Structure 1
Amino acid sequence: LTILAVILGILVSNYLSKPLSKLKNAMDKIGKGDMDIKVDFKRKDEIGQLANAFNQMVEHRKQAE
């Protein structure tokens, strides 16, 4: 049972941390002036909403320039 809990914990951790890491890397690129970045997550949860908001922000910044 303990092993199952550890495996489940690792899977949940990866499910949450990998997309956030990708989003952080995209933010770093935006900070360096790369405005052609887009994050593409096929998720309908809060992380997907965050990715969509990020993409909208990038588009608005590109239009403002």
Structure 2
Amino acid sequence: MADPDGCPPTDTARINQLIPLGRAGTPEDVAGAAVFLASDLAAYLNGHSPGVDAGALRI
């Protein structure tokens, strides 16, 4: 049986081992970053592209 992303469970487990946080991102993960960037809390950010990738680009 495939997971919701359409990957066989063995592929999903193998992919998750490559992600530092150990799981794929969810729409809520991306939405949280978008809400932060749209808020006044991000007013001092300038010229930065935050990675919403669970640390995957750092390895």
The alignment's TM-score, normalised by the length of structure 2, stands at 0.30
User: Rg: which structure is higher?
Assistant: 1
- Structure with the largest fraction of helix: 1
* Larger RCO (alpha carbons 8 Å, 6+ apart): 2
